[in-house]
Amino acid sequence: MDRSTVTHNRAVRAGGGIEAEAGSRTTVDRSTLSGNTTGAGPGNGGGLHLTGAGTVHVDRSHVVHNMAAAEGGGLWNSSAGTMTVTRTTVSGNTASGDQAENGGGGLYNDGGSLTVERSKVEHNVADGEAGSGGGILNNGGTLVVERTALRGNDAQRAGGGIEAAAGDTTVSRSDITGNETGPNPGNGGGVHLGGDGVVRLDRSSVTRNQAAGEGGGLWNSEAGTFTVTRTDIRNNSAPVGPDVYQDGNGDGFTIDRQTVPAAGS
């Protein structure tokens, strides 16, 4: 799809704007996916949904104001899928699933490979009761975010900017600013790592994020490995651990080779 617009469409199952079936190769270039929605069965991928093994490349496009009943308000990648998003704005999308593994207001990676480069992921929402990952939710897959702005995203449960639910997440040369979480329980305003996943954060900024509970900027699970290098972390806010928080007795959170103490900021 080149220099085109897909707008105000609806699907009961998935892929409000575009459904990419297994085995397909899909390219969206200099185009707009806007105002598309999914129903509740299961309700994934408001703008675009990839089923099974396939590839999707979105370049120099706008994915805006789409809605999914459960996951991936803008874009949804399958467990066997490869999705690349470059020089694209993902903004104002909503995912409304109520479970902790639901959400991904802007983008949802369901165990596959998702790369986001030189893009903007802004003002997306995971507004379900326990929705996670206002900007991006990586559910056990491989996520690479490079030279990208994650700003003003919101999740009810955790991970206002990014929710890393296990898996492997790398963020470099990016700006994580002004994201926030609601009260359920409200952890990790900028980035939240759950389970035994791995997050690497390098040469980035984590500023002015808010969490209703713990870790205004960054939150690491007891079993997680969270490595931060050459990154500016400041002016974040939360009742406990305004900038960073290490859960339980874990010792896998380091900032420039210094270990963050348990329940410390």
**pLDDT, average across residues 231-237:** 98
pLDDT tens, 15-26? 999 999 999 999
**Cα 15 to Cα 19, 76, 171, distances in angstroms:** 4, 8, 27
Compute CA 101 distance to the chain's CA centroid, rounded to the nearest angstrom.
Answer: 12
For the question of whether the overall pTM of this predicted structure is more than 0.95, the answer is yes
Please give the Cα distance from 76 to 117 (Å, whole number): 16
Burial (CB < 10 A; 0-12, 13-18, 19+), residue 261, is exposed
pLDDT tens, 108-138? 999 999 999 999 999 999 999 999 999 999 9
Sign for the CA dihedral angle at 30, 31, 34, 39 comes to: negative
**Cα atoms in the 13 Å half-sphere on the side-chain side of 91:** 13
Strand pairing class (253-255; 258-259)? antiparallel
Confidence (pLDDT) at 263:
79
Please give the Cα distance from 147 to 260 (Å, whole number): 26
- Cβ of 262: how many Cβ atoms within 10 Å? 14
Please give the Cα distance from 164 to 238 (Å, whole number): 19
pLDDT tens, 50-85? 999 999 999 999 999 999 999 999 999 999 999 999
pLDDT tens, 132-181? 999 999 999 999 999 999 999 999 999 999 999 989 999 999 999 999 99
